[in-house]
Structure 1
Amino acid sequence: MHRRHALALAGGGLAALTIRQAARAISAIAQPIEIQSPMALTQGGWLRARAMPGQVKLDGIGLPVADDGLFFTAFDRDAPPRMVLRYEPGDGGVPFELPLTIAPRAWAIEHVDTPLRPPSAGPDASFMARRKGELAQIKAARARETGAQGWRQAMVRPARGRFSGRFGSQRVYQGQPGAYHSGLDIAGAAGTPYVAPASGTVVLAATAPFTLEGHLLLLDHGMGLCSAFLHAAQLLVAEGDSVQQGQPLGLIGQTGRATGPHLHWSLTWRGSRLDPQLFLAPAG
């Protein structure tokens, strides 16, 4: 219920109340969390919502809230079926809880009758030393808070082409699960530009190819939401650049560990891995 409706229901009685008493009366009538649409209450999905002044938590973890009350939250690929949004008013009033039902997904699971990795195929010491440094750069970049506002936007496709790999798919090797696919693969010819699905700030631009990701680009959209683009032939932006939705970021390639030219696009939010397809605008 909107604030003006709450005032109408409370009627003239509000005139005799103090400002704090009136605020509490409104809070008792109006729902303090208003879910925005569209949203995806499913594993790998997300939602945006608006809250009245106060603190918002998801399963006990505090969420940042913008000055206009809008906030963002999301659900990992393996999120539980039930989560709770909790609103705590700043004036010490009664908290409000909004239970969320997170729909399960039928992931594409392939069972393979071979071992996950032969005993002799483990990574060598030089690879592990280099990889440790790369992972540290990725972790530090994703932890940066740039104030970007792309999290407010409906996203657009970063590149045209066939979806050649879907988020969440996984192989199980003789009963031992391998890592699931963490993003969306878009097939494309080498040298084809890809663009920003939403506005943001470049927090990592690997001019020297990483071992697995190749020319990796990380784009912070704000509120903890971050895009990663892998395997580029060339990057067209640099670390620290502010980019707008639809702006070219790089050229599709097959650097790093890739069997052919394609764009791997992944999304994370505060450590949770998300399904990029669920963020695309209806026309995307």
Structure 2
Amino acid sequence: LEIDGKANHLFIRDWNDRVSATVGSSSVFTCPQKSNITMVTWKISPKVGGPCTLGYRADWNKTDRTNCSDGMNWKFRPDRDPTLEIRQVKIAHEGNYTCELVAAEGNFHQTYHLTVLVLPKSTLECDDQGNPVCQAAAGKPAAQISWVRESNLTPSEEGHDDGTVTVFSKFTAHSTEVTNTTCIVSHPAGNWSKSIACRSRNLILYVSIILCFLSIIIFVAVIYYFKLHHDRLCHKTKPPETALTHSPQDDTMEVEPYTTYVQKENVIYNSVSDLTV
């Protein structure tokens, strides 16, 4: 908008710009560069909280500030360069910034619409079912999530009180094969991508059941082997049981000494008898 008043040579010019800044960065707003500045005023209208003003009057050589935080101030001397600087941008700084400048050439207005960007914290993990889950947490504005392998799933969003948004997206694989899946997070403050390989939990469950079954079989086989081996050792070391038998030969062995004694007695007796005769 430009108005030329030829009668008093008054120029009023108004420029509107849209700017963006990332949380934690610095942001600079400039006024039209004019000489012989009489007065300059910055009027800030944030979306959250009350307005604040920074002013300078050349005839008084004085600056003034009302309801402005310490992180928001003149970048240089306002009589030479009325540039406004925000040292560390926060979400609360989002809003309109208007410079009203009065100089010998006329009155000038410069308005900026500041949008604060918050880079989301992006993660890519495997859920309990073995599906890749991509998340872009607390971003402003909401991030866009896409997969290298096409997916028809619509990401879900969760808004927060500070204006940030968390976006979730789960990729459901149609097979149990282990393949790399890449998640891409697109955001005005910066892009992010990561790849992951998730194993299907069904496949893991089947493998676990088979391993458990094999372990049981091996355990039973080992117990059976040691039990069988122990029985064989006991059978080899046990002395043979012999039954007590009574044979006629034993009776003969017991009778023979007595028979021999009787025979000897008879021999002696006969010899004595012969001598007597």
- So what's the TM-score if we normalise by structure 2? 0.24
Larger radius of gyration: 2
More strand by share: 2
More helix by share: 2
- So what's the TM-score if we normalise by structure 1? 0.23
